[in-house]
Amino acid sequence: MTAALDTRVRWDELARPGPVAGVEAATVHGARLSAARYVLEPNVVVPEHAHASEEFGHVLAGSLELRCAGAVERLGPGDAFLVPGDTPHAATAGPDGCELLECYAPPRGPKEGR
């Protein structure tokens, strides 16, 4: 008999200070994908950055202003976005903050925080 594989992710147990002040991050890394839950305090600014991985994000709560490729999108709960790899982007949390789930492919390294 083999032991069952525990595939659950416990975001609260993984939470650590994020790459930007006012951001809490929890990340998991697989062979072909990494995922993160970010909790941004109200009005926190994530400066422009880029990474090789594609980034999919889904707003769980609050709101987020996403700046990417000359466009500005205002996103709320249930909204999602897809940023191509190597594309500069930035974000600002709304007045009530923001909680979002992001996935990256290929996976980002454990030291990459955004």
CA distance 105 to 31: 10
Q: The domain that contains 31 carries what CATH number?
A: 2.60.120.10
For residue 106, cis peptide bond before it (omega within 30 degrees of 0): yes
Q: Is residue 1 part of a domain?
A: no
Average pLDDT taken over every residue of the chain: 93
Per-block mean pLDDT, blocks of 10 residues, the chain (114 long): 78 95 96 96 97 97 96 98 97 98 90 51
Is the overall model pTM greater than 0.85, yes or no? yes
Task: Output the CA torsion sign for 10, 13, 64, 73.
Answer: negative
In this structure, what DSSP letter does residue 110 have? T
Q: What is the pLDDT of residue 108?
A: 85
Tokens 């993984």 correspond to 14
Q: Tens of pLDDT along 79-103?
A: 999 999 999 999 999 999 999 999 9
Q: What is the pLDDT of residue 40?
A: 98
Q: Is residue 112 part of a domain?
A: no
Q: Is residue 36 part of a domain?
A: yes
CA distance 101 to 59: 7
